[in-house]
Structure 1
Amino acid sequence: MTSPLPHPDHPAAPLSRRRFTHLAALTLTAGAGALPLATPASATTSAAQAYYDRARALAGDDQVLLTLVKALTPGAVVPRPPAPQPLLLFDNVAMLSVGWVSATAVLTDDGIVLIDALTSPEEAEGTVVAGLRTLGADPHTIKYIVVTHGHDDHYGGAQHLADHYGARILMTPADWNLTAHSDSPHAPTRDLDITDGQRLTLGATTIHLHHTPGHTPGTVSPIFPVHTGPHRHTAMLWGGTNPPPTPAELRTYLSSIHTFRTHMHQAGTDVELSNHPNDYGLQRAEQLRTDPHGPNPFILGAPRTQRYMRVMDLMLRGRLADAETTADDG
């Protein structure tokens, strides 16, 4: 597959006025500056605030971690930045995004595994299919669509891609059941089930699919190999970030974080990706587009990817403390 758009092995592009304005808009929209630590004191327990403060301290001045703190702060909303152009984050990984939600294409020597499918057939065609073609990839080679969880902003374009390009759709049984009760007109027809720890192999690429319930009962978080030239890395993509409301669900979420951190450590994960702009990901994509010869900003290193999950753990412990207090008061 050819790759006409800039990536780490291609010549650097100058920072045009349009690109500078776009990057500035992303920064402002996604909140890269000073971050609130939590909701007002009247809505947050002191126990919860202690966790939020520890998460903020652990984040330090790391914009990736600070953006995660903001995304997990009570009352946070998903930002709505402008849609970026498609981009190769690595030689074998493409970002196809409408701004507030993204799909990730893993390019193998035997076809494409698409992680998530955006919100609708129109976005599947206009963003996923068109984006792949822009990057020199053939959408007819999409073999599998891994839906990280059963919300329509992740499965909305899946059935269109299955019907028109022959892709098979994978989801956990729990989230197939969730989707079956959805009133979305784009809910896909049940196809393949994902089991915890399943290995999905296409060509020489194996993607490990880990069940990480919390955001939904069947959320899945993949770990997979990425590369630029001879340089090999291992990426993770946390399948669903927005915390659930009840103490029981939050405890499940925390358990998933703990288990997934172990999987990450065993795999040597050093790259972090996301399907929403809750990790400074769109800004990092623009940095990469602007300076493709510089350090790839998605390579955090193993210690920093573990710290990312530790920040998530602390924020979720704060959310649990708040939820338990609310439940007790009720």
Structure 2
Amino acid sequence: MKPPSPREDSSDDLSRRRFARLAVVGLAAGAGAVGLTPPPAAAATDGQCYYDRAGRLAGEDPVLRNLVRALTPGTAPPELAAPAPVRLFDDLAMLSVGFVHAMAVLTDDGIVLIDALRSPEDAENVIVPGLRELGADPEAIKYVVVTHGHYDHFGGAQYLADRYGARVLMSPADWDLVERTRPEHAPTRDLEITDGQRLTLGDTTLRLYATPGHTAGTVSPILPVRTGSESHTAMLWGGTRPAGTLAELHTYLASVRSFRTRMRRAGVDVELVNHPVDDGLARAEQVRDDPGGDNPFVLGRRRTDRFMEVLDLMLRGWISDAEAREGEE
């Protein structure tokens, strides 16, 4: 797909941003960090053997340990402060409100935004000034790729379409979802994503893959990123928390496995998600504080593949528990 033709902060703002950064770092360093505190003891379930295997595979890896905790049944997502915007790579920025992120892919011909946070206010007060703070022009937003049709991912899309003429992309199933569940907030139906679709802007091509399970139309991108002369291939898992029914869980597991195969073929060595289930906020602070150091989002091919293996095991646990519940009915 070809693209269509074409501050200063107050001292109070800076203080809030510094506080947010300290809060994130404190969570990462202390006993209360995501994934570093075990969930409350619960009765053994049929899926426990899979959760235990996932925990053993995760070992002491904070990225994988966070994922295990986030997908352990009965755990609640933590309350996290919103960090300041940050470039994770030269051509990829994170714009976050704490519990959910948007990613801006910065190309030589404009910006592809992956997700649009919760609301028009988030777009106006987080995405737009965040891009400017990082030296990017929000008027260059050409596309908004919505990974799935929940409010915290499409909420700012219509604002960006109205203000900057951005084209909004979503899978057909999730266009239907937002029109059915949140018609008053749904963006105007625009471009539909097909499985494996290429989205090219300037010198950058994203591949958009159908990974249903979190919703019926969840999409996960694979894209190039770079820092200096180093080039990498990143994935972004489009929807983390499993849906409820056994059929949806089996669909989710099939998506994990198909996407894992595509990751291997693409040589993916960078892991990203749109919620802080992977120690992502603490790693973002590492990038901010040591921009010339080793990038903590570059896990390498083997460790990135292990992320998907842990996800696979956790889903098998959810499926085992769901099958046991059905057997009791």
Aligned to 1:126: 125
Identical-pair percentage: 62
| Inter-CA distance 329–32: structure 2 relative to 1 (3 Å threshold) | closer
| 1:35 aligned residue (28, 35, 38) | 38
Aligned to 1:230: 229
Report the Cα distance in structure 2 between the residues aligned to 1:79 and 1:164, rounded to whole angstroms: 33
Aligned to 2:312: 313
Cα pair 2:224 2:232 within 8 Å, conserved: yes
Amino acid at match of 1:25: L
Aligned to 2:3: none
- Offset of 1:232 from its aligned partner? 0.2
Q: Does 1:206 align with 2:197?
A: no
1:119-141: CA deviation from partner (whole Å, max 9, x where unpaired): 00000111100100101111111
- What SS does the corresponding residue of 1:181 show, helix, strand or coil? helix
Q: Relative contact order, CA 8 A, sep 6+: which one is greater? A: 1
- What SS does the corresponding residue of 1:96 show, helix, strand or coil? strand
Q: Does 1:140 align with 2:142?
A: no
Report the Cα distance in structure 1 between the residues aligned to 2:24 and 2:172, rounded to whole angstroms: 40
1:79-138: CA deviation from partner (whole Å, max 9, x where unpaired): 220000000000000000000100000000010000000000000111100100101111
Gaps of 5+ in 2: 1-7, 9-17
Cα pair 2:235 2:270 within 8 Å, conserved: yes
Aligned to 1:74: 73
Cα pair 1:59 1:66 within 8 Å, conserved: yes
1:184-204: CA deviation from partner (whole Å, max 9, x where unpaired): 632111100000000000011
Aligned to 2:152: 153
- What SS does the corresponding residue of 1:74 show, helix, strand or coil? coil
Report the Cα distance in structure 1 between the residues aligned to 2:22 and 2:163, rounded to whole angstroms: 37
- Offset of 1:34 from its aligned partner? 3.2
| Inter-CA distance 325–174: structure 2 relative to 1 (3 Å threshold) | same
- Offset of 1:288 from its aligned partner? 1.3
- Offset of 1:40 from its aligned partner? 1.2
- What SS does the corresponding residue of 2:102 show, helix, strand or coil? strand
Aligned to 1:7: none
- Offset of 1:25 from its aligned partner? 3.5
Cα pair 2:118 2:152 within 8 Å, conserved: yes
Amino acid at match of 1:316: L
- Offset of 1:22 from its aligned partner? 4.1
1:30-87: CA deviation from partner (whole Å, max 9, x where unpaired): 4242323x86125x22xx1110000000000000000000011001222220000000
Aligned to 1:264: 263
Give the number of equivalent residue pairs: 312
Aligned to 1:25: 27
Report the Cα distance in structure 2 between the residues aligned to 1:64 and 1:177, rounded to whole angstroms: 33
- Offset of 1:17 from its aligned partner? 9.2
- Offset of 1:19 from its aligned partner? 4.8
- Offset of 1:245 from its aligned partner? 1.1
Report the Cα distance in structure 1 between the residues aligned to 2:80 and 2:21, rounded to whole angstroms: 14
Point out the more displaced range, 72-81 or 244-253. 72-81
Gaps of 5+ in 1: 5-15
1:244-297: CA deviation from partner (whole Å, max 9, x where unpaired): 111111000000000000110000000001110001000100111112222100
| Inter-CA distance 252–84: structure 2 relative to 1 (3 Å threshold) | same
Cα pair 1:30 1:277 within 8 Å, conserved: no
- What SS does the corresponding residue of 1:208 show, helix, strand or coil? strand
Cα pair 1:32 1:63 within 8 Å, conserved: yes
Report the Cα distance in structure 1 between the residues aligned to 2:20 and 2:156, rounded to whole angstroms: 30
Cα-Cα RMSD? 1.7
Amino acid at match of 1:93: L
Report the Cα distance in structure 1 between the residues aligned to 2:237 and 2:19, rounded to whole angstroms: 33
Cα pair 1:269 1:305 within 8 Å, conserved: yes
Aligned to 1:324: 323
Aligned to 2:5: none
Cα pair 2:23 2:81 within 8 Å, conserved: no
- What SS does the corresponding residue of 2:224 show, helix, strand or coil? strand
Amino acid at match of 1:177: D
